[in-house]
């Protein structure tokens, strides 16, 4: 017989939102939110869809090339992204854009994780890069309490991820 689930443990939920139609996707999100509320359950939700993150998360962490490049309260990160990759992701969605407007896709492709470029991994694709960006991996910077971005251009306290 199986032990009853421990709902106080965190659940890691990885799903492929692209495989679901919009109606099923909404139903799944509503169900997950209900489970969170009723069971007091923490959840790590892995998605490529920032719109889904906005619906379900309190806190978001944006990853690029295997590293967290920005994190913080979901509303703050999505409204005022501090890292150029997050800003690029938000600009490359059709949600909230006029129909006639072309999507501002991020140029280039993600790097080969076995051969990361020197310095900031996003530098080859970053429209704001400067020469120093290729010297070392940027330390996390905190423009506001609880909001982190690993980018040389971000002003704020420099720290470490715990
Ligand atoms: S550190 Fe430089 S290359 Fe990296 S995201 Fe910031 S500006 Fe762009």
93 domain residue, yes or no: yes
Same domain? For 42 and 101 the reply is no
pLDDT of res. 13: 56
Same domain? For 103 and 154 the reply is yes
4 domain residue, yes or no: no
Measured CA distances, 37 to 34, 52, 74, 107 (Å): 5, 17, 18, 40
Closest Cα to atom 1, ligand 1: which residue?
151
Percent of the chain whose pLDDT exceeds 70: 84
87-98 mean pLDDT: 81
CA of 103 to the centre of ligand 1 (A): 21
83 domain residue, yes or no: yes
One DSSP character per residue, 38-58 reads HHT--EEEE-S-HHHHHHH-S
Q: Write out the two tokens for 153.
A: 């251009």
Q: Is the pLDDT of residue 14 over 50?
A: yes
Same domain? For 90 and 51 the reply is no
2 domain residue, yes or no: no
For a pocket test of ligand 1, which of 110, 117, 126, 132 has the largest count of ligand atoms closer than 8 A to its C-beta?
126
Same domain? For 86 and 162 the reply is yes
Higher pLDDT, 95 or 76: 76
Q: Which residues line ligand 1 (CB under 6 A)?
A: 83-84, 120, 122-123, 126, 128-129, 133, 138, 151-153
Instruction: Write the pLDDT tens digit of every residue in 129-148.
Output: 999 999 999 999 999 999 99
CA of 3 to the centre of ligand 1 (A): 48
Ligand 1 nearest atom to the CA of residue 132, by list position = 2
Please count the structural domains in the chain.
2
Same domain? For 50 and 123 the reply is no
Segment among 12-21, 33-42, 75-84 with least mean pLDDT: 12-21
Same domain? For 121 and 153 the reply is yes
* Confidence bin at 4 (pLDDT 50/70/90): very low
Answer whether 148's CB lies under 8 Å from 76's CB: no
CA of 142 to the centre of ligand 1 (A): 15
Same domain? For 85 and 151 the reply is yes
Ligand 1 nearest atom to the CA of residue 83, by list position = 5
Q: Which domain holds residue 115?
A: 75-162
65 domain residue, yes or no: no
Q: Is the pLDDT of residue 121 over 80?
A: yes
pLDDT of res. 5: 46
Same domain? For 84 and 18 the reply is no
d(CA 24, CA 84): 32
């Amino acid at each position: 017989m199986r032990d009853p689930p421990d709902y106080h443990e965190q659940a890691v939920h990885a799903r492929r939102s692209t495989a679901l139609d919009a109606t099923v996707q909404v139903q799944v999100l509503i169900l997950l939110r209900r489970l969170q509320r009723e069971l007091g359950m923490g959840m790590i939700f892995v998605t490529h869809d920032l719109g889904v993150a906005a619906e379900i998360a309190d806190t978001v962490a944006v990853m690029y090339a295997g590293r967290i490049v920005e994190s913080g309260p979901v509303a703050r990160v999505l409204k005022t992204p501090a890292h150029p990759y997050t800003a690029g992701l938000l600009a490359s969605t059709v949600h909230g854009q006029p129909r006639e407007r072309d999507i501002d896709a991020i140029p280039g492709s993600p790097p080969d994780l076995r051969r990361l470029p020197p310095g900031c991994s996003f530098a080859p694709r970053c429209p704001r890069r400067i020469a120093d960006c290729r010297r070392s991996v940027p330390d996390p910077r905190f423009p506001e309490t609880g909001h982190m971005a690993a980018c040389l251009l971000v002003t704020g306290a420099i720290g470490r991820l715990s």
